[in-house]
Amino acid sequence: MPRLLEFLQGSYKVLQHFGRKPGIFISASFLIIIFIGTILLRQPQSTVTGEQMSLIDAIFTTTSATCVTGLVVTNTAEYFYTFGKVVILLLIQVGGLSIQGKDRFAYKIGANYNRLLIEI
């Protein structure tokens, strides 16, 4: 139990550090999501043939789904099994929420900047 508590305290300190630098936090979160998605899409359960997807194709597909561009290297309906389709769907959802979060953050910065200009 003490090790778990130490881990949580360390994680909290890291999040506090990123909280002061939102640009790094947003970039790091996208990289982590892309890394996890790449690992999941490379699993043999993701494809219909049961073969492992190539690393570059998995990275491209994951990045495209997370950034909500919709570009694919393979036909998603024919190449991916249910597990792979669910992974891609979740990446699209998480990416969409992240984009909305960035827009909200940019709006807040803009509103604060405008408020500062009015006060000056």
pLDDT-above-90 percentage for the chain: 38
- Domain coverage including residue 9: 2-119
Closest CA to 95 of 20, 17, 34: 34
Helix (H) or strand (E) holding 37: helix 22-41
Statement: residue 74 has pLDDT above 80: yes
Statement: residue 112 has pLDDT above 80: no
Helix (H) or strand (E) holding 83: helix 82-119
CA 37 to chain centre: 8
pLDDT the model gives residue 116: 47
The token pair at 96 is: 């969409």
Mean pLDDT of 105-111: 57
pLDDT the model gives residue 117: 47
Give percent helix, percent strand, percent coil of the chain, each to the nearest 5.
Answer: 80, 0, 20
Query: What is the tens place of the pLDDT at every residue in 19-33?
Result: 566 667 777 788 889
- pLDDT band of residue 52 (cuts 50, 70, 90) is very high
- Here the CATH number for the domain that contains residue 90 is 1.10.287.70
Q: Work out how many domains the chain is built from and give that number.
A: 1
CA distance 93 to 76: 16
